Structure 1
């Protein structure tokens, strides 16, 4: 099982079937908050939907094309983070994340994103890490900015969010620019 200890408070653990109930409960408790920026909330309405996400995540991990982990903060699942996709040909990891509403403001996601970037460069020997966020999602955009990622531009109408399109800002870091 993949477990990556970040610090005394935070670890990343490969999402597993037995995480389904706790992960669904966290999703459900944060549903309205998360719905502002995540397009999948209306299709995740029962534990079985979370189980399907976990099964797809396990398949991606087995096929070496993605890694989804639960974020453990003081031993409790507080969100999800990982590589939504790994492009081995071009050596790029695409980081995605979300955090339960009550856990925001503790620096958790910044530490997690930093650790995922370190892991991509130092363990997976990738060359580039990307994080995208909706233009108006200032909390999510603050994470790559805080870590020194470069704003490489905007993808117009990059995502359908329930009833409208949102533009995405693309942030990237390359291995040569990442402080070891």
Structure 2
């Protein structure tokens, strides 16, 4: 379930990282304010039959059908769903999210499962000074319970941590949305606390749980996973 996702210092400011066995990159302010480059989010192959790909203009009908199938389900969690009521609304959404810098706009991925659009995953609320972004997601109700979102989030984090100079990623979920909270908890994110009345759903204020992952933490988690899968 996708929900829009407070800043902390970059992990690279710790002197201990210079001798870290993973040879972590040193994030600097100069790198953080590099010129904006608008570009489509690259295609990410997650697994056989599962991929993350940007939405194209021809996908607006698929997006409309997906939202309509899940409207009653999504309205419980997503305030922006009220803005998607017509095919024209879907067209505007696709146009606004196609070519963005990962910090200045929103990188929106379609979740494609067996060539069908079954959800969205996006990066938003970018902070170029802190090299920090938030990630959100939602999935077609009929496709939940198959590990699709978890695998997509892992692939997306692998990419942005290694290719986009990201130092910290946040996930924010309504405290009542246990399925969304299960993703960061499963992946080893740090629970940072609850922000009271920090989100709105159906015109009502809701409390938001915040989770974070630092670059160095993600590399350590991935190294442990790799060692656990070795024969």
TM tier, shorter chain? over 0.9
Is the aligned partner of 1:172 residue 2:212? yes
Aligned to 2:130, which of 73, 79, 90? 90
TM normalised by structure 1 equals 0.94
Give the secondary-structure state (helix, strand or coil) at the position aligned to 1:170.
Answer: strand
Gapped runs of 5+ residues in structure 1? none
Spell out, residue by residue over 1:5-63, the C-alpha distance to the aligned partner (whole angstroms, 9 max, x if none).
Answer: 01113110011111100011010001001111011222211111111111111243488
Mark the structure with the bigger radius of gyration. Answer: 2
> Which structure is richer in relative contact order (CA contacts within 8 A, separation 6 or more)?
2
TM normalised by structure 2 equals 0.74
Q: Counterparts of 2:191 and 2:99 in 1: how far apart (Å)?
A: 32
Pairing 1:76-155 to 2, within 5 Å after superposition: 76-155=116-195
Aligned to 2:66: 26
Give the secondary-structure state (helix, strand or coil) at the position aligned to 1:6.
Answer: strand
Asked if the contact 2:169–2:214 (Cα under 8 Å) also holds between the matched residues in 1, the reply is yes
Q: Counterparts of 1:62 and 1:141 in 2: how far apart (Å)?
A: 23
Aligned to 2:5: none
Q: Give structure 1 regions of 4+ aligned residues with deviation exceeding 4 angstroms.
A: 61-64
- Alignment CA distance shift 1:97-1:62 (3 Å): closer
Count of residues in correspondence between the two structures: 180
- Alignment CA distance shift 1:64-1:8 (3 Å): farther
Instruction: Give the alignment's Cα RMSD to 1 decimal.
Output: 1.6
Aligned to 1:9, which of 49, 52, 62? 49
